Amino acid sequence: MSLLRRLERAQQGADTQSVATLERVPPPAAPTHAQVGGRETYLSNTRLRLLDEVIGASASLRDAVDAADLHSKVAAIVDQVISANGFAVRRDERLGMIEDLIAEITGFGPIEPLLHDETVTEVMVNGPSQIYVERKGKLELTDVVFRNEDHVMHIIDRIIAPMGRRIDESSPRVDARLPDGSRVNAIIAPLSLVGPVITIRKFSAKPYTVDDLVRFGTATPEMFDFLRACVEARLNIFVSGGTGSGKTTTLNVLSSFIPNDERIVTIEDAAELQLRQEHVVTLESRPANLEGEGQITMRDLLRNALHMRPDRIIVGECRGGEAMDMLQAMNCGHDGSLSTGHANTPRDMLARIETMVLMAGYELPLRSIREQIASAIDLIVHTARLKDGFRKVVNITEVCGIEDDEIITEDVFVFEQTGVRDGRIEGLLRPTGIRPAFMGKFLESGIRLPPGEFGIPAEDPTRPTRARYGKARFSGGEVPQTLDPSVAFGRATRAGGMIYVSEMGPVDPDTGQLVAGGITEQTSQCLRNLKERLDAEGSSLDKVVWANWSLRDPSEFDAFNKEWVSWFRGAAPVGQGTLMPPLQRRAGFRISIGVIAEA
């Protein structure tokens, strides 16, 4: 609705909420000494009278051609009313009243200056008399107030009206956006007990770039180079984090790495992504109308997007059943898709996706859901707002696959705090020593990484990795490149007349392959490797005095023990069982064995 149309409706009494807040009041008398303490009340009443006069003069404002002309006309009305009524108003107060009136007419009332303040990242209206802002990650109470609850409702209506949305007792909450893309949430009685509440997450008029986030300390240039390679290699990426941790900003930057010649379809509840590519189709969900009809959900848009020939699908945020459709899109050829979700850790993000898939209403077994997740998602970029208020990328985690119905993940980079300087947390994303299985996909995509590959371990030239086009259940095979040889083949240490051998895995030393078969075959290979290691150290199986074995499935103990005792001429050595380490599980081990033997 245009400014002049709103003025006409207010003048004609059509907009009842607005008129209720703008009813005429008698002109305030000039202040006396007894009224000095009530100066603010005097000025507030003066503003009400001026606003009433401005609305009454809507016909003369109809001819305003631009903001400067409107400012001039409003100033003329203010001067005329002040002069005619003898209001005692200083020059600075007069100028402030003119700006307040223009903000009330064309903008969003008292919070308009806060929306233009570049240092403010969030505006929180908790009823008419309590307005907070966020600056540099810290909350501050402002001296800005609304006149009453009707005034707040008037601003909410002004925000949501252009989007065709509504808020009332039957629908007391709404999500919307401002013309600049800032995200808005409003909630009113009976859900809110403090009056109408507005929360506005501001977005920069100019999208943040990699340089901006590096300057903010979100991550290092090298990490963004790594993430750029991941996006260009068409990995499916989820950005996770808590509320206000910078997920959407990070997603915007990741989206900027998508080549300009690809067709991108974005799907959001309230459009806030700011992509700069040429070929972008933006879809926005729609709530139901007054009759409860016409609702278009995120799931509807996702299904429709599959018929739009997208190269990439970007979902602003997965909150419910649309996660199921997002996984389906990732698994049916739409590689390189991106999305965000609320979670405290990367592992929690996977658990939340499981829950969201169940919210879709399908009665799927949990194993099937986890296989879908493990196959679809390649990387999780986790953001956090630290205690100093600054946002950082704190984890870059690979989703490796699934084993024993559990999704296996590995941190590729982890944020390590190095100290605190001037109240600000310092630290860096450091490599964990894990080489991701998708590194081969970079080469397949023609992406050349810099020397050192961001601190990721180099590839073993004797067992080159291949580009991975899909992943789900681990079934054994070649020992992963991330597995230290000492984990696969044990490590012998001589001390105090004894030889200590760390746990041997069921890997054929000649081929580097995990042996085929079940627990019996794997136990036999472990003992064969153990015998060779002890013989090389001048000992033997007969001199073993203590053993330690790790079973992936405790129910296989009887089969293991039968093979174990068959390798000893007398009584088998005593020992104990322990929990199998994640790296061995990831390698497909069912058993590993370590011993202590006499030298």
One DSSP character per residue, 195-230 reads S-EEEEE---SS---HHHHHHHTSS-HHHHHHHHHH
Tens digits of residue pLDDT in 86-138: 677 777 777 777 777 777 677 788 898 898 888 898 999 999 999 999 988 78
Q: Residue 138, Cβ neighbours under 10 Å: how many?
A: 9
| CATH number of domain containing 188 | 3.30.450.370
* Cα separation values, 547 from 191, 514, 527, 595, Å: 63, 22, 11, 4
Are 324 and 429 within one domain?
A: yes
- Contact indicator for 388, 380 with CB cutoff of 8 Å: no
The token duo for 52 is 């009433």
Alpha carbon distance 355, 357 (integer Å): 5
Please say whether the dihedral angle defined by the alpha carbons of residues 276, 331, 465 and 524, taken in this order, is positive or negative. Answer: positive
The token duo for 15 is 């907009």
Q: Is residue 475 part of a domain?
A: no
Are 421 and 570 within one domain?
A: no
Q: At what angle do helices 39-56 and 67-85 cross, to 10 degrees?
A: 120
Looking at 84, 106, 128, the residue that finishes a domain is: 106
Q: Is residue 444 part of a domain?
A: yes
Are 243 and 315 within one domain?
A: yes
Q: Total structural domains in the chain?
A: 4
Q: Is residue 479 part of a domain?
A: no
Q: Is residue 470 part of a domain?
A: no
Are 60 and 151 within one domain?
A: no
Q: Residue 97, Cβ neighbours under 10 Å: how many?
A: 22
> Coil, strand, or helix at residue 292?
coil
Cis peptide preceding 485, ω within 30 of 0: no
What pLDDT is recorded for position 539?
Answer: 92
Looking at 73, 90, 106, the residue that finishes a domain is: 106
Tens digits of residue pLDDT in 539-548: 999 899 999 9
Q: Is residue 441 part of a domain?
A: yes
Are 433 and 578 within one domain?
A: no
Q: Is residue 49 part of a domain?
A: yes
Tell me which residues of the chain have a pLDDT lower than 50: 1-37, 463-470, 472-482
**Closest among 481, 523, 530 to 504, alpha carbons compared:** 530
What pLDDT is recorded for position 44?
Answer: 67
**Closest among 397, 272, 376 to 333, alpha carbons compared:** 376
Are 100 and 141 within one domain?
A: no
Question: Half-sphere exposure (CA, 13 Å, Cβ side) for 547?
Answer: 24
Are 98 and 162 within one domain?
A: no
Tens digits of residue pLDDT in 486-522: 567 778 889 888 999 988 889 888 887 888 888 999 9
- Contact indicator for 253, 340 with CB cutoff of 8 Å: no
Alpha carbon distance 132, 124 (integer Å): 5
Are 78 and 196 within one domain?
A: no
Are 30 and 58 within one domain?
A: yes
| CATH number of domain containing 538 | 3.30.1330.40
Are 349 and 250 within one domain?
A: yes
Q: Is residue 460 part of a domain?
A: no
Are 357 and 262 within one domain?
A: yes
Are 382 and 301 within one domain?
A: yes
Looking at 106, 121, 136, the residue that finishes a domain is: 106
- What backbone torsions phi and psi does residue 191 show, to the nearest 5 degrees? -75, -40
Q: Is residue 465 part of a domain?
A: no
User: Which residue range is the domain that position 284 belongs to?
Assistant: 210-455
- What backbone torsions phi and psi does residue 235 show, to the nearest 5 degrees? -80, 145
What pLDDT is recorded for position 338?
Answer: 94
The token duo for 265 is 């379809």
